[in-house]
Amino acid sequence: MKRLNLIFTIITVILIICACHSASTNNEIVNLLKEPNLELSDQLIKQFFEYYNSHRFELSLLPPFNSSNQPDWNQLTLYTYLNFADNKNQDYDSKISKEEFRNTINKYFGQMEYIDKKSEYLKYVNETYICNPGDTMRTVYYRLTSITKDNYGLYTASFDGLFLEELEASELYEFASPNIKAIRDVAGTKEYMQTEQFTDTLLNIFLKDDYNKILDMTEKITIQFILTDNDIFPFVYNSCEIISY
């Protein structure tokens, strides 16, 4: 029993450390966004890259929408479910209650009117959303290209997105895509790269002015958001527009 309690204590401490690190990282990006002379910088590029790499579904699955058009319900339910599960460190076959679903939507979109119902990705049974089996994952890395703030505190930011297939990074060099080859060439290796080395190399490329000549970027995404007082969920999104290259 003592050993079991010790294990639970260790796990709890690890989760607290991870949460504190996430909050600290979010504070860094928020502090940069609050600076009086906001402009594109290497530090902002780095902070947004790391933020969306850590919160992997927050931008990559954000559905297109604006003040006149709500997000597609199918995309919205998937986005809500995966971000809820990701933030809770839960399995992606877990359930989400009606209340948890609404709270998650409010965290990312503010107050939104909708009717609870099933979608292409989620069942809705007894006031509970249950994820349908299927592959819904995608890996996208984002490079900030512009950012502005109006007098009302509304930020507009544009990113170039690099989409990679789930197993693409593990392919042999001779069979790898041009993007994977380019990343390994910059790193000076033809071998498989561990996650940390891969992301560090990709960030170094993104910090170059000619990053989009080295890599074939996939999409342009422009978002509008406001800042919250929540260290864990610093952004509430007002709009999203995606253009494929």
Residue 6 has pLDDT above 80, yes or no: no
The total number of residues written for the chain in this structure:
245
What average pLDDT score do residues 1-18 get? 41
Euclidean distance between CA atoms 181 and 183, whole angstroms: 5
Residue 155 contacts residue 226 (beta carbons within 8 Å)? yes
Q: What pLDDT, on the 0 to 100 scale, is given for residue 15? A: 40
Number of separate domains in the chain: 2
Rounded CA Rg of the chain: 19
pLDDT confidence of 137, banded at 50, 70, 90? Answer: low
> Of 100, 117, 137, which residue sits at a domain end?
137
Please calculate the CA angle 62-17-20 and round it to the nearest 5 degrees: 55
What average pLDDT score do residues 224-240 get? 95
Q: How do residues 85-113 score in pLDDT, each as one tens digit?
A: 888 755 555 789 999 999 999 999 999 99
Q: How do residues 57-70 score in pLDDT, each as one tens digit?
A: 999 999 999 999 99
Residue 106 contacts residue 12 (beta carbons within 8 Å)? no
What average pLDDT score do residues 130-135 get? 79
Does residue 132 sit in the same domain as residue 150? no
Secondary structure class of 108 (helix, strand, coil): helix
Does residue 175 sit in the same domain as residue 127? no
Q: What pLDDT, on the 0 to 100 scale, is given for residue 3? A: 43
**Cα distances (angstroms) measured from residue 54 to each of 23, 40, 57, 158, 213:** 12, 21, 9, 19, 26
Euclidean distance between CA atoms 26 and 20, whole angstroms: 10
Domain with 50 in it: 1-60+138-245
Does residue 100 sit in the same domain as residue 217? no
Does residue 133 sit in the same domain as residue 82? yes
* H-run or E-run covering 226: strand 219-227
Does residue 130 sit in the same domain as residue 162? no
Residue 159 has pLDDT above 90, yes or no: yes
Residue 13 has pLDDT above 90, yes or no: no
- Considering only residues 171 and 141, tell me which one the structure prediction assigns the higher pLDDT: 141
Torsion 20-238-111-91 (CA) sign: negative
What average pLDDT score do residues 219-239 get? 95
> Of 106, 137, 168, which residue sits at a domain end?
137
How would you classify the pairing of strands 128-131 and 95-97? antiparallel
Does residue 166 sit in the same domain as residue 228? yes
Does residue 180 sit in the same domain as residue 191? yes
Distance of alpha carbon 232 from the chain centroid: 13
CA neighbours closer than 13 Å in the CB half-sphere of residue 206: 27
- pTM (2 d.p.): 0.86
